[in-house]
């Protein structure tokens, strides 16, 4: 009963063999997943996939890297689509300081607008954070984003920030990096964050877990993430699967 909370099965990398990829996930014990759409191209495909499979849900938002491209109509479109029965969260949204396509102030503005949207439609948010944790936490506080709660997706910073996010009412989702041999922070986070606040994900096709690092990632590999967390917490994989599944269903209200 593995719940992969963040997949991009709507990405070009899965156009050829998406059905087989989904079948492999089912064979490995994945029972639910959320497909994330983050622009004009990927949002409709996310919803289409969610309509096609009972056990697949959609999240829709605007990616911070492309914040500069977002028009008012896009935000309105996302708000309208959020009423779709398979849409369970708004995002991914957030800040990405690694790429400089969109200036920081534009990213912050688009982030704040999406938090406001999520509050209007009463849905949890999915946060993308790259090299921007301090600003993310500040905005979450200022916008009182704890009202909706949500997910720090593929969390990759230290445990003290993770605890701040927990205090703000957010869940921490761990992906492939927790399995990397040279990873330190995600491993400490896996140990320190209580199981009832943890989620698992692949973020496929990116960030494939060890020993598939560097290859195309897919939802079947979320099992490797669950196994690593179980090892780090010294509990069974079943317990990790069961509890993170329950956490995801509560959060997404499914
Ligand atoms: Zn993503």
Ligand 1 mean position to 66 CA, how many Å?
13
Ligand 1 mean position to 206 CA, how many Å?
8
**Tokens 């949500």 -> residue:** 150
**Under 8 Å between Cβ of 82 and 114:** no
Dump pLDDT digits (tens) for 57-101. 999 999 999 999 999 999 999 999 999 999 999 999 999 999 989
Q: Give the C-alpha separation, 235 to 65, whole Å.
A: 38
Ligand 1 mean position to 8 CA, how many Å?
7
- Residue-level pLDDT at 65: 97
Region 224-238: mean pLDDT is 98
Dump pLDDT digits (tens) for 173-190. 999 999 999 999 999 999
Cis geometry, peptide bond prior to residue 211 (ω within 30 degrees of 0): yes
Ligand 1 mean position to 115 CA, how many Å?
17
Residue 222 pLDDT level (bands cut at 50, 70, 90): very high
Ligand 1 mean position to 235 CA, how many Å?
28
Ligand 1 mean position to 160 CA, how many Å?
23
Ligand 1 mean position to 204 CA, how many Å?
8
Ligand 1 mean position to 242 CA, how many Å?
23
Beta strands in the chain (DSSP E): 2-7, 30-37, 56-60, 87-96, 125-130, 150-152, 170-174, 198-200
CA nearest 187: which of 247, 125, 254, 233? 233
**What phi and psi values does residue 93 have, to the nearest 5 degrees?**
-140, 170
Ligand 1 mean position to 191 CA, how many Å?
24
Ligand 1 mean position to 20 CA, how many Å?
21
Ligand 1 mean position to 88 CA, how many Å?
15
**Under 8 Å between Cβ of 188 and 172:** no
**Tokens 């993308």 -> residue:** 128
Dump pLDDT digits (tens) for 197-208. 999 999 999 999
Dump pLDDT digits (tens) for 25-68. 999 999 999 999 999 999 999 999 999 999 999 999 999 999 99
Residue 131 pLDDT level (bands cut at 50, 70, 90): very high
Question: pTM surpassing 0.95?
Answer: yes
Ligand 1 mean position to 10 CA, how many Å?
11
Region 109-120: mean pLDDT is 98
Ligand 1 mean position to 183 CA, how many Å?
20
- DSSP, residue by residue, 222-244: HHHHHHHHHHHHTS-HHHHHHHH
Average of per-residue pLDDT values in the chain: 97
**Under 8 Å between Cβ of 28 and 21:** no
- Residue-level pLDDT at 248: 98
Dump pLDDT digits (tens) for 133-145. 999 999 999 999 9
Residue 121 pLDDT level (bands cut at 50, 70, 90): very high
Ligand 1 mean position to 62 CA, how many Å?
11
Ligand 1 mean position to 111 CA, how many Å?
15
- Residue-level pLDDT at 191: 98
Q: Which residues contact 38 (CB under 8 A, 6 or more apart)?
A: 60, 61, 62, 63, 66, 91, 92
- Residue-level pLDDT at 51: 98
């Amino acid at each position: 009963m593995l719940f992969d909370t963040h997949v991009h099965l709507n990405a070009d990398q899965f156009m050829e063999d998406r059905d087989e990829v989904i079948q492999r996930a089912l064979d490995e014990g994945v029972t639910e997943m959320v497909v994330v759409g983050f622009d004009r191209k990927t949002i409709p495909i996310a919803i289409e996939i969610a309509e096609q499979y009972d056990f697949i849900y959609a999240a829709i938002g605007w990616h911070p890297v492309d914040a500069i491209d977002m028009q008012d109509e896009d935000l309105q479109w996302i708000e309208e689509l959020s009423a779709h029965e398979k849409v369970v969260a708004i995002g991914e949204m957030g800040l990405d300081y690694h790429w400089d396509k969109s200036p920081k102030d534009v990213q912050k503005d688009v982030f704040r607008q999406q938090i406001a949207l999520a509050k209007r439609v009463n849905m949890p948010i999915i946060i993308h954070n790259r090299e921007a944790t301090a600003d993310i936490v500040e905005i979450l506080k200022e916008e009182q984003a704890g009202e909706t709660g949500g997910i720090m997706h593929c969390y990759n910073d230290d445990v003290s920030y993770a605890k701040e996010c927990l205090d703000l009412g957010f869940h921490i989702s761990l992906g492939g990096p927790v399995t990397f041999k040279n990873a330190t922070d995600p491993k400490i986070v896996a140990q320190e964050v209580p199981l009832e606040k943890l989620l698992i994900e692949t973020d496929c096709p990116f960030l494939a877990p060890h020993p598939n690092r560097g290859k195309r990632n897919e939802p079947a590999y979320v099992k490797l993430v669950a196994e690593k967390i179980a090892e780090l917490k010294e509990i069974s994989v079943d317990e990790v699967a069961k509890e993170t599944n329950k956490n995801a269903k509560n959060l997404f209200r499914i």
